[in-house]
């Protein structure tokens, strides 16, 4: 009763206002019925927000529950979301503006969106019921960050931010505002999508769930290792995307640049072990189970084998490949056919799961020699990434294969290909089961 009384005082007299319906524009490509406008009911306002709900949804709603959740939401916006985001990124252009929060039916591809020209933030009315409050807080903070970016970055400096960094800052609001420590979080979904993808990318952002997952984890890694000032200084400049991150790194005294941080992040996303190196792990315990699952290649254990593969990777993509099997000393060589492939991170895993990290500098050396592969050392993981379109090949063979072996090599390669089709699927499935088991343990 006390909470509802405070809510009544906060918003004013609902009963006298609710009769006056208002029409708001909506995104017809996101509206559940494809409409371009919705009749809404005004529920009230605070210093920063006016709150509305779709008229049809209001008639069917549990109105007491709606009021209760709105109370929590507007308090969170007034006391945490608005002041934190504007204090961090700026408010010179946004100060004094009031925003419209509209609960409306949205397609199940989205929980929220914004229209900056009207200062409108739209939340899916069904999600408003289904999700925990901290998840709803995140949806609101994500969209509000987009509006702040429009006013304080793009309008102020006359630039268009790269989409990956625009979305990355919005994703990071969940961490910035302290929502990642709750039972159900957007971050848990992002981690699940990320570890199930063996070719993470986000630079050429296409709004896939994998892109959102990758940029979320990258921005968290970037801030953990290089500080919040990198995100803020890249925002408060007329530079965009990678250039703005490199500008912020230089401004803050770092010699490292985006491309090298990106490679370190890829390694960290597979190794994730601070005992090996602080560079190759996440610090926040929310990321403790992050381990990308590579695509597996199986080297037959019988006979003398030479196995090779060639792959094309699109600009900005990455690809993780794990080689297992084999029996004896091997030489693994990597060749760049197309694109600007300079460094290839690799991880050698021994029978005790100990990992050794190295980098192939293809301008100096393109070979890795591994002793007793299949016994003492049980796996090699290769990480390929480039900001150009890329075509590469790798070959693994026994040390005795120093000369041309003609038809024998071709036959053995074909046999290896047949085995890989089946065994790679089994190995990946086993890795997925192990990961799911670890995730279940953390929830018990």
CATH number, position 37: 3.30.2010.30
**Residues 401/315, Cβ–Cβ less than 8 Å:** no
Q: Looking at the structure, do residues 135 and 223 belong to the same domain, yes or no?
A: no
- Read off the tokens for 369: 């020699």
**Residues 308/396, Cβ–Cβ less than 8 Å:** yes
pLDDT tens digits, 80-112: 999 999 999 999 999 999 999 999 999 998 999
pLDDT at 443 over 70: no
Say which CATH number the domain at 300 has: 2.60.120
Q: Looking at the structure, do residues 303 and 391 belong to the same domain, yes or no?
A: yes
Q: Looking at the structure, do residues 148 and 196 belong to the same domain, yes or no?
A: no
Q: Looking at the structure, do residues 149 and 227 belong to the same domain, yes or no?
A: no
Among 256-265, 279-288, 414-423, 434-443, name the one with the lowest average pLDDT: 414-423
**Residues 144/194, Cβ–Cβ less than 8 Å:** no
pLDDT at 413 over 50: no
- The domain boundary residue, chosen from 158, 173, 196: 158
Q: pTM value? A: 0.86
What's the pLDDT score for residue 340?
Answer: 84
Nearest to 127 by CA among 148, 104, 150: 104
Q: Looking at the structure, do residues 22 and 154 belong to the same domain, yes or no?
A: yes
- The domain boundary residue, chosen from 236, 262, 292: 292
Among 71-75, 337-341, 356-360, name the one with the lowest average pLDDT: 337-341
Q: What is the mean pLDDT of residues 293-306?
A: 82
| Alpha-carbon gap, residue 373 to 357, rounded angstroms | 16
pLDDT at 71 over 70: yes
Q: Looking at the structure, do residues 143 and 3 belong to the same domain, yes or no?
A: yes
**Residues 286/181, Cβ–Cβ less than 8 Å:** yes
pLDDT tens digits, 166-210: 999 999 999 999 998 766 789 999 999 999 887 888 988 999 999
What's the pLDDT score for residue 15?
Answer: 32
Helix (H) or strand (E) holding 42: strand 37-45
Q: What percent of the chain has pLDDT over 90?
A: 66
Report the half-sphere exposure of 409 (CA within 13 A, side-chain side). 14
Q: Looking at the structure, do residues 11 and 120 belong to the same domain, yes or no?
A: yes
Note down the domain range covering 116.
1-158
Q: Looking at the structure, do residues 409 and 288 belong to the same domain, yes or no?
A: no
Among 226-235, 337-346, 368-377, 391-400, name the one with the lowest average pLDDT: 391-400
Q: Looking at the structure, do residues 147 and 169 belong to the same domain, yes or no?
A: no
Task: Look over the chain and give the mean of its residue pLDDT values, rounded to a whole number.
Answer: 86
Phi (first) and psi of residue 359, to 5 degrees:
-130, 130
Q: Looking at the structure, do residues 188 and 265 belong to the same domain, yes or no?
A: yes
Domain count, the chain: 3
**Residues 263/200, Cβ–Cβ less than 8 Å:** no
Burial class (CB in 10 A: 0-12, 13-18, 19+), 249: buried
Helix (H) or strand (E) holding 159: none
- The domain boundary residue, chosen from 243, 273, 292: 292
């Amino acid at each position: 009763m006390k909470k509802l009384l405070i809510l009544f005082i906060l918003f004013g007299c609902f009963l006298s206002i609710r009769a006056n319906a208002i029409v708001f524009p909506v995104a017809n490509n996101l509206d559940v019925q494809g409409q371009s406008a919705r009749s809404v009911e005004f529920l009230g306002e605070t210093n920063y927000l006016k709150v509305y709900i779709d008229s049809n949804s209001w008639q069917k709603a549990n109105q007491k529950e709606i009021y209760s959740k709105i109370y929590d939401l507007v308090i969170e916006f007034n006391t945490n979301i608005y002041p934190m985001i504007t204090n961090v990124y700026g408010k010179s252009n946004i100060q004094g503006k009031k925003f419209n929060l509209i609960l409306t039916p949205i397609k199940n591809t989205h929980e929220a969106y914004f229209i900056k020209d009207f200062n409108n933030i739209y939340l899916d009315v069904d999600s408003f019921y289904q999700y925990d409050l901290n998840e709803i807080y995140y949806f609101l903070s994500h969209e509000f960050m987009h509006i702040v970016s429009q006013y304080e970055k793009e309008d102020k400096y006359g630039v268009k931010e790269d989409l990956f960094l625009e979305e990355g800052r919005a994703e990071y609001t969940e961490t910035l505002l302290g929502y990642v420590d709750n039972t159900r979080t957007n971050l848990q979904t992002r981690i699940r999508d990320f570890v199930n993808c063996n070719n993470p990318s986000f630079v050429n952002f296409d709004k896939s769930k994998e892109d959102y997952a990758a940029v979320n984890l990258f921005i968290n890694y970037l801030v953990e290792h290089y500080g919040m000032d990198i995100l803020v200084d890249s925002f408060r400049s007329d530079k965009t995307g990678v250039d703005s991150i490199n500008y912020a790194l230089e401004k803050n005294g770092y010699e490292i640049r985006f491309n090298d941080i990106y490679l370190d992040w890829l390694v960290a996303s597979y190794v994730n072990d601070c005992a090996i190196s602080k560079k190759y792990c996440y610090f926040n315990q929310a990321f403790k189970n992050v381990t990308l699952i590579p695509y597996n290649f199986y080297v037959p254990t019988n006979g003398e084998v030479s196995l090779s593969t060639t792959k094309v990777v699109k600009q900005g993509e990455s690809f993780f490949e794990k080689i297992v099997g084999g029996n004896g000393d091997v030489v693994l060589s990597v060749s760049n056919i197309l694109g600007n492939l300079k460094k290839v991170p690799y991880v050698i895993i021994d029978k005790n799961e100990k990992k050794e990290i190295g980098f192939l500098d293809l301008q100096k050396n393109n070979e890795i020699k591994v002793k007793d592969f299949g016994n003492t050392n049980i796996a090699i993981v290769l990480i390929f990434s480039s900001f150009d379109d890329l075509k590469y090949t790798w070959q693994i063979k026994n040390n005795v294969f120093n000369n041309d072996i003609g038809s024998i090599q071709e036959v053995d390669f074909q046999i290896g290909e047949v085995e890989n089709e089946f065994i790679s699927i089994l190995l990946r499935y086993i890795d997925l089961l192990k990961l799911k088991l670890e995730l279940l343990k953390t929830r018990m």
